[in-house]
Amino acid sequence: MDPSEVEFLAERELVKVIPNFTHDKIYLISGDVGPFSAGLPLPVPLWLAVNLKQRQKCRFVAPDWMDIDVLKEKKQEEADSRFFTPMPSPHYMEITQLLLQWGTDDIPKADEIRTLVKDIWDLRIAKLRSSIDVFVKSGESHAKLNYLTLMEINTVRLFLTKALNHMHQLKSVTSRDTTNSNSQAF
Protein backbone atom coordinates (compact mmCIF):
# COMPACT_ATOMS: atom_id res chain seq x y z
CA MET A 1 0.00 0.00 0.00
CA ASP A 2 1.22 3.44 -0.89
CA PRO A 3 1.62 6.10 1.81
CA SER A 4 -0.72 8.24 -0.29
CA GLU A 5 -3.39 5.56 0.07
CA VAL A 6 -2.98 5.66 3.83
CA GLU A 7 -3.31 9.40 3.63
CA PHE A 8 -6.46 8.92 1.62
CA LEU A 9 -7.91 6.76 4.37
CA ALA A 10 -6.86 9.32 6.96
CA GLU A 11 -8.80 11.99 5.11
CA ARG A 12 -11.98 10.46 6.48
CA GLU A 13 -11.03 11.53 10.00
CA LEU A 14 -13.03 14.40 11.38
CA VAL A 15 -11.35 17.71 12.19
CA LYS A 16 -12.85 20.94 13.36
CA VAL A 17 -12.98 24.00 11.16
CA ILE A 18 -14.48 27.46 11.44
CA PRO A 19 -16.23 28.24 8.15
CA ASN A 20 -16.67 31.81 6.93
CA PHE A 21 -19.89 31.10 5.07
CA THR A 22 -23.31 29.80 5.89
CA HIS A 23 -24.73 26.79 4.12
CA ASP A 24 -27.27 24.05 4.73
CA LYS A 25 -26.42 20.49 5.51
CA ILE A 26 -24.62 18.69 2.67
CA TYR A 27 -25.73 15.12 2.16
CA LEU A 28 -22.86 12.91 1.10
CA ILE A 29 -22.56 9.15 0.64
CA SER A 30 -20.09 8.94 3.49
CA GLY A 31 -22.37 10.88 5.79
CA ASP A 32 -23.93 14.28 6.25
CA VAL A 33 -21.83 17.36 6.82
CA GLY A 34 -23.00 20.63 8.25
CA PRO A 35 -24.99 22.74 8.58
CA PHE A 36 -22.34 25.43 8.20
CA SER A 37 -22.79 28.72 9.93
CA ALA A 38 -20.16 31.39 9.63
CA GLY A 39 -17.90 31.65 12.65
CA LEU A 40 -19.11 28.51 14.44
CA PRO A 41 -16.70 25.57 14.56
CA LEU A 42 -17.98 22.25 13.31
CA PRO A 43 -16.41 18.85 12.57
CA VAL A 44 -15.92 17.97 8.92
CA PRO A 45 -13.92 15.22 7.20
CA LEU A 46 -10.30 16.16 6.66
CA TRP A 47 -10.58 16.11 2.87
CA LEU A 48 -13.36 18.64 3.00
CA ALA A 49 -11.46 20.77 5.47
CA VAL A 50 -8.43 20.90 3.18
CA ASN A 51 -10.58 21.68 0.18
CA LEU A 52 -12.37 24.50 1.98
CA LYS A 53 -9.11 25.87 3.25
CA GLN A 54 -7.60 25.90 -0.21
CA ARG A 55 -10.52 27.99 -1.33
CA GLN A 56 -10.23 30.34 1.66
CA LYS A 57 -13.60 29.30 3.00
CA CYS A 58 -12.58 28.19 6.47
CA ARG A 59 -9.95 28.24 9.19
CA PHE A 60 -8.61 25.12 10.83
CA VAL A 61 -9.01 24.52 14.53
CA ALA A 62 -6.10 22.51 15.84
CA PRO A 63 -7.25 19.17 17.34
CA ASP A 64 -6.97 18.97 21.14
CA TRP A 65 -3.89 16.81 20.99
CA MET A 66 -2.13 19.18 18.60
CA ASP A 67 -0.78 21.23 21.45
CA ILE A 68 2.78 21.69 22.62
CA ASP A 69 2.20 20.46 26.19
CA VAL A 70 0.13 17.45 25.24
CA LEU A 71 2.63 16.39 22.62
CA LYS A 72 5.59 16.89 24.94
CA GLU A 73 3.90 14.69 27.52
CA LYS A 74 3.14 12.11 24.88
CA LYS A 75 6.73 12.15 23.69
CA GLN A 76 7.99 11.64 27.25
CA GLU A 77 5.56 8.79 27.79
CA GLU A 78 6.64 7.18 24.55
CA ALA A 79 10.30 7.53 25.45
CA ASP A 80 9.79 6.10 28.95
CA SER A 81 7.71 3.12 27.96
CA ARG A 82 9.23 -0.06 26.52
CA PHE A 83 6.07 -0.74 24.60
CA PHE A 84 4.04 1.33 22.24
CA THR A 85 1.69 3.78 23.88
CA PRO A 86 -1.73 4.63 22.49
CA MET A 87 -1.70 7.60 20.14
CA PRO A 88 -4.20 10.46 20.39
CA SER A 89 -5.37 9.78 16.87
CA PRO A 90 -4.98 6.68 14.71
CA HIS A 91 -3.78 8.95 11.90
CA TYR A 92 -1.77 11.49 13.87
CA MET A 93 1.02 11.72 11.30
CA GLU A 94 -1.19 12.24 8.27
CA ILE A 95 -3.42 14.77 10.02
CA THR A 96 -0.46 16.81 11.21
CA GLN A 97 1.07 16.68 7.77
CA LEU A 98 -2.07 17.86 5.98
CA LEU A 99 -3.07 20.50 8.49
CA LEU A 100 0.39 22.01 8.60
CA GLN A 101 0.81 21.91 4.87
CA TRP A 102 -2.31 23.87 4.10
CA GLY A 103 -2.93 25.86 7.21
CA THR A 104 0.39 26.80 8.70
CA ASP A 105 -0.99 30.14 9.76
CA ASP A 106 -4.01 28.65 11.58
CA ILE A 107 -2.11 26.32 13.87
CA PRO A 108 -0.30 28.07 16.71
CA LYS A 109 3.39 27.19 17.05
CA ALA A 110 3.29 25.14 13.90
CA ASP A 111 7.03 24.66 13.66
CA GLU A 112 7.35 23.23 17.17
CA ILE A 113 4.40 20.92 16.60
CA ARG A 114 5.92 19.65 13.42
CA THR A 115 9.16 18.87 15.24
CA LEU A 116 7.42 17.18 18.18
CA VAL A 117 5.27 14.96 16.00
CA LYS A 118 8.30 13.99 13.98
CA ASP A 119 10.14 13.17 17.23
CA ILE A 120 7.33 10.92 18.38
CA TRP A 121 7.27 9.28 14.98
CA ASP A 122 11.01 8.69 15.09
CA LEU A 123 10.80 7.19 18.57
CA ARG A 124 8.06 4.83 17.56
CA ILE A 125 9.71 3.79 14.33
CA ALA A 126 12.97 3.10 16.19
CA LYS A 127 11.03 0.98 18.65
CA LEU A 128 9.34 -0.83 15.81
CA ARG A 129 12.65 -1.58 14.12
CA SER A 130 14.26 -2.93 17.24
CA SER A 131 11.27 -5.13 17.98
CA ILE A 132 11.35 -6.45 14.43
CA ASP A 133 15.01 -7.18 14.93
CA VAL A 134 14.27 -9.15 18.09
CA PHE A 135 11.37 -10.92 16.42
CA VAL A 136 13.34 -12.01 13.38
CA LYS A 137 16.34 -13.08 15.41
CA SER A 138 14.23 -15.16 17.76
CA GLY A 139 12.77 -17.03 14.79
CA GLU A 140 9.25 -16.92 16.19
CA SER A 141 6.35 -17.29 13.81
CA HIS A 142 4.15 -14.62 15.24
CA ALA A 143 4.32 -11.52 17.37
CA LYS A 144 1.80 -9.06 18.73
CA LEU A 145 2.20 -5.30 18.86
CA ASN A 146 -0.37 -2.99 20.37
CA TYR A 147 -1.29 0.56 19.39
CA LEU A 148 0.53 0.72 16.07
CA THR A 149 -1.01 3.16 13.63
CA LEU A 150 -1.76 2.33 10.03
CA MET A 151 0.97 4.56 8.64
CA GLU A 152 3.56 2.94 10.89
CA ILE A 153 2.51 -0.55 9.93
CA ASN A 154 2.60 0.52 6.34
CA THR A 155 6.19 1.71 6.50
CA VAL A 156 7.45 -1.71 7.59
CA ARG A 157 4.95 -3.85 5.75
CA LEU A 158 6.89 -4.25 2.53
CA PHE A 159 10.16 -4.92 4.23
CA LEU A 160 8.78 -7.27 6.87
CA THR A 161 6.69 -9.47 4.61
CA LYS A 162 9.51 -9.84 2.14
CA ALA A 163 12.05 -10.58 4.80
CA LEU A 164 9.82 -13.17 6.44
CA ASN A 165 9.16 -14.73 3.08
CA HIS A 166 12.87 -15.09 2.45
CA MET A 167 13.37 -16.51 5.92
CA HIS A 168 10.63 -19.00 5.30
CA GLN A 169 12.17 -20.08 2.03
CA LEU A 170 15.58 -20.48 3.56
CA LYS A 171 14.13 -22.40 6.50
CA SER A 172 12.12 -24.75 4.34
CA VAL A 173 15.15 -25.48 2.16
CA THR A 174 17.37 -26.28 5.14
CA SER A 175 14.71 -28.41 6.82
CA ARG A 176 14.13 -30.32 3.57
CA ASP A 177 17.88 -30.89 3.32
CA THR A 178 18.02 -32.24 6.84
CA THR A 179 15.03 -34.58 6.29
CA ASN A 180 16.63 -35.72 3.01
CA SER A 181 19.94 -36.51 4.67
CA ASN A 182 18.13 -38.22 7.54
CA SER A 183 16.21 -40.49 5.19
CA GLN A 184 19.35 -41.44 3.33
CA ALA A 185 21.03 -42.47 6.56
CA PHE A 186 18.36 -44.99 7.22
Partner 1 sequence: MLVRDFKREFYDVVQHQRVLVLVAFDVDSLCGCKILQYLFQCDQVLYTIVPVTDLQELEKAFLENAEGIKHVVLINCGATVDIVDLLQPEDHVRFYICDSHRPVDVHNFYNAVQVKLLMREDELSTIPTYDELFRDDSEDSGNESEDSDTGYKKKKFDEESIIRRQEKRRWSENRVKVLFDYTKFTSYGTSAALVMFDLAWKLSKDTNTLLWLAIVGVTDQYIHFKTPRDKYMEDILTLQSHVSRHNQRGGDNENTLSINSLKISFEEELNFPLYRHWTLMDTICHSMPIACKLRLWSLKGQKRLHEFLAEMGLPLNQCRQQFGAMDANLRSEVKGKIQEFMSKYGLDIQDVILPSFSLHYGYKSQLCATDYVLSSIAVLESGDKSRSSTDNFLEACDILQKGCTDKMEAGLSAAKLQLRSIYTQVQSFLEMHQIISAGPFLYVFVQEGTADSSYFAHPQCSIRLARFALQAHCAVSRNKRAQSLPLVLGAPLRQEEGTSLVVGIPPLDTDDERKNFFGKAFEQAAEATNTTAKFNNFDSYIIEMKSEDKSKFFDALISILQ
Binding site for partner 1 (CB under 8 A): 20, 54-57, 100, 104-105, 107-111, 114
Q: Cα Rg for the chain, rounded, in angstroms?
A: 23
CA distance 13 to 98: 12
Is the Cβ of residue 104 or residue 172 nearer to partner 1 in the bound state? Answer: 104
Q: How far is the CB of 172 from partner 1 (least distance, A)?
A: 52
When the beta carbons of 41 and 108 are compared against partner 1, the nearer one is 108
Q: Could you tell me the smallest distance in angstroms from the CB atom of residue 42 to partner 1? A: 19
Residues counted in the chain: 186
64 DSSP β-pair partners: none
* Residue (69 or 140) nearer to partner 1, CB: 69
CA angle in degrees (0–180, nearest 5) for 66-67-69: 140
For partner 1, the closer of residues 102 and 135 by Cβ is: 102
Least distance in Å: CB of 39 to partner 1?
12
Question: Please, which residues have CB within 8 angstroms of residue 90's CB and are 6 or more apart in sequence?
Answer: 13, 149, 150
Instruction: Identify which of residues 109 and 166 has a Cβ nearer to partner 1 in the complex.
Output: 109
In the complex, the smallest distance separating the C-beta of residue 11 from partner 1, rounded to whole angstroms, is 19
Q: Which is nearer to partner 1, 2 or 105 (CB)?
A: 105
Cα–Cα distance list, 166 to 32, 75, 140 (Å): 47, 35, 14
**Cis (ω within 30 of 0) for the bond into 108?**
no
User: CB 108 → partner 1: shortest distance, Å?
Assistant: 5
Q: Which helix (H) or strand (E) holds 57?
A: none
Closest to 58 in 3D by CA, of 70, 46, 72, 68: 46
Q: Nearest approach, Cβ of 87 to partner 1 (angstroms)?
A: 23
